[in-house]
Structure 1
């Protein structure tokens, strides 16, 4: 499978920036991920991410770490942090940028250590892929927590992307799927990656999934556009 994200991150890191990553989804037209945004400073991060970094404690696992911007900020503050990403290119960039502990694998294949904080930022819970897989995904994350550990994640309720009628209800396609399940494809410099499922989960649905998997779910902060930061702890 082409590591489209990794290739783009590596080239940006090497000073060869000429274009951004294009994304195609089952929801809308073509969009893009600006590469500089993946290398952003604390000041450039949205309030939800800033708040999550301020709440981090103890040993930290940064899941889907990308270029390692969150990991580096916490490492500079003295945290013992492990950055994890399935993308080979992302893992290489993290190492080259100075992240001391980097794991290059899927979070579902990881079981080496336990942590006080697990970060799933930039909608990292999307890695669960589908609503059906969310329970097993949360269960696996729970096994990686130390006693009194926490999972900090942000996500969005993408209901706003559907048409609204006069009564304020939304027209959601009745295809048996949860409306937050999206298929994505990334493209960089003419090379397309394989399509992958991604999950945006509204807060109530996340709460219910937590309830079913012995987790407490607390709403920490609402963002400006249907997004939120939540803190999960084992009951």
Structure 2
């Protein structure tokens, strides 16, 4: 099994015990420094899309791909009951140490429990995969644990604008690509992760084949290659 390099990296950073500068390795061999502080940013420093979408959360929430818990902590402070799930045991340990009440190791594509009013998939979590079929599979799975009339908020990356992060992406079809990378830290090499890049129109087309409806797409001048989406399920589902 691949190492939990991401989890060890954030755990050591959180405990002020970092062994070395961690890196992201692209599948073309390019190494860049991991942006550690970004995983721990307070709400005031978040991407504008994240700030706007988190205000749409209502009721009981699933934080899908919670990382070290920055979204869950903000939601808890607002009075929400939150279940936070991440595939990295180390990240879940950090989230618990930081005060996330309910954090568990798990895969957002096979979400636990049910009866959530809102699914929070910020941090590009919906984009795990290399195709629109992967996106539809993720969305369909998340619909099974969301109440009728429930919502989903997420941020998504696109190739519409020039961005160093997407420069080496693999084209799949017009408007759809993916980038592959992994975390390397202190002799550990995490699993290769594929993140989908899709235009808003491509995203809408994928969603149309799932139980969800796109309510809004948001972006700002500061958004760069990212945009946000708000989805909903029918109330009579």
**Which TM-score tier does this pair reach, normalised by the shorter chain?**
0.7 to 0.9
Name 2:157's counterpart in structure 1. Answer: 156
Pair 1:130 & 2:131 matched: yes
CA separation in 1, counterparts of 2:20 and 2:115?
Answer: 38
Candidates 196, 204, 210, aligned match of 1:213: 210
**Deviation, structure 1 residue 12:** 1.0
* Alignment check: 8 A CA contact 2:143 2:211 kept: no
Q: Report which stretch shifted further, 59-68 or 119-128.
A: 119-128
CA separation in 1, counterparts of 2:83 and 2:121?
Answer: 13
CA separation in 2, counterparts of 1:26 and 1:160?
Answer: 22
* Alignment check: 8 A CA contact 2:123 2:155 kept: yes
CA separation in 1, counterparts of 2:212 and 2:102?
Answer: 28
Map 1:105-144; keep pairs closer than 5 Å: 105-144=106-145
SS of structure 1 residue aligned to 2:91: helix
Listed one character per residue, the Cα deviations across residues 85-108 of structure 1 (whole Å, up to 9, x for unaligned) are 000001111111111111211122
SS of structure 2 residue aligned to 1:204: helix
SS of structure 2 residue aligned to 1:147: strand
CA separation in 2, counterparts of 1:186 and 1:20?
Answer: 11
* Alignment check: 8 A CA contact 1:130 1:197 kept: no
CA separation in 1, counterparts of 2:57 and 2:171?
Answer: 40
Name 1:203's counterpart in structure 2. Answer: 200
Extract unaligned runs of 5+ from structure 1: 163-171
SS of structure 1 residue aligned to 2:109: helix
The 1:146–1:46 alpha-carbon spacing in structure 2 relative to 1, beyond 3 Å, is same
* RMSD between aligned residues: 2.5
The 1:177–1:94 alpha-carbon spacing in structure 2 relative to 1, beyond 3 Å, is same
Map 1:32-181; keep pairs closer than 5 Å: 32-161=33-162, 179-181=176-178
Higher helix share: 1
The 1:140–1:26 alpha-carbon spacing in structure 2 relative to 1, beyond 3 Å, is same
How many aligned residue pairs are there?
Answer: 228
The 1:147–1:132 alpha-carbon spacing in structure 2 relative to 1, beyond 3 Å, is closer
**Deviation, structure 1 residue 178:** 7.0
* Alignment check: 8 A CA contact 1:220 1:231 kept: yes
CA separation in 1, counterparts of 2:171 and 2:197?
Answer: 17
